Amino acid sequence: MTEGKRKIALVTGANSGIGLELTKKLIENDWEVVALIRSGFPLEERELQHKIHQRVIRIYRTDLSDFKKLKSALEQIKEQEPKLDALFNNAGGSFPELLFSPQGRELHYEVQTIVPYIITMELMPVLKKGSQGMVIQTSSDAFRFRESFVPEELEKPKLALTLWTHALAPELKKEGIILISVDPGNNNTMRKGRNGGLPLFIQPFIRLFSPHPSVGASRLFAGLERSTEDAGLYISKGKPTEYKIKQHASQVLFQVRIVHEKEFISCKRIQLRPLFVRVLIRCSFDSADEEPAQ
């Protein structure tokens, strides 16, 4: 494909784990990549470093958990990128202790539930300029077997993400944007010198039994083949998969929308109900790609 006609994908958490492998797969398939990340790509990834030099990969640095920094980066993307054909809301992370964002919310929930909504809505203008706007959320299968759910208790970020994806998809479909969530499976996203915040007793099991993150990246990449009829679906192991608590989807969407409209856009901190910052300490095997600043 000639330069200037390549498709462009934005990937959060593009420099490690599943996000790094997804970036490689996109480049191999002649895409350009817009990387929204806090730290740089590994220096040993020489081919990717070459692509950065060629501006086939373009880096926008930010701390996803900090609304002021995120807003600045998103404005740069809207000003400098001609279009986006796909958006991968992929950044995750596991933290062994209770941490909060600069806005005062629990860090998992901020980065894995609220921020993907903000990025999606803020980048709608450039997504509409793409050939077929695709938004692919990195989800999880950890919630599939829950029998009940209290919307105020949003300690399960990937669950809340999948729920608002389901609720928002019909709206975006009218705008020509396909929104889906995809479970990449349990992947070994640990790398030398870093454990992704996973508890010590879990790490040997991840190393022994979890596949290489390229497996998860392939599942996310396959989401690009989905059509408008698939909007709002949750995809697990390549197939649409049902879960039991969709009746709460509209309420979760309302809650993340309030944060975007009343706090992010206006740059004013709002006081949410205390339940928003409650946390259930958990072990996450999701895409631990881009860890916000601590």
Angle between the 249-259 and 115-122 helix axes, to the nearest 10 degrees?
A: 70
Where do the structural domains in the chain lie, given as residue ranges?
A: 8-277
pLDDT at 177 > cutoff 70? yes
Residue 45 and residue 36: Cα distance in Å, rounded? Answer: 17
What pLDDT score does 194 carry?
52
- Which of residues 36 and 279 earns the better pLDDT score? 36
182-193 pLDDT, tens per residue?
A: 999 875 454 554
Residue 187 and residue 207: Cα distance in Å, rounded? Answer: 9
- Whole-prediction pTM: 0.83
Q: How confident is the model at residue 136 (pLDDT cuts 50, 70, 90)?
A: very high
To the nearest 10°, report the CA torsion of 192, 194, 196, 197: 140
Residue 264 and residue 25: Cα distance in Å, rounded? Answer: 32
Domain 8-277: which topology?
Rossmann fold (3.40.50)
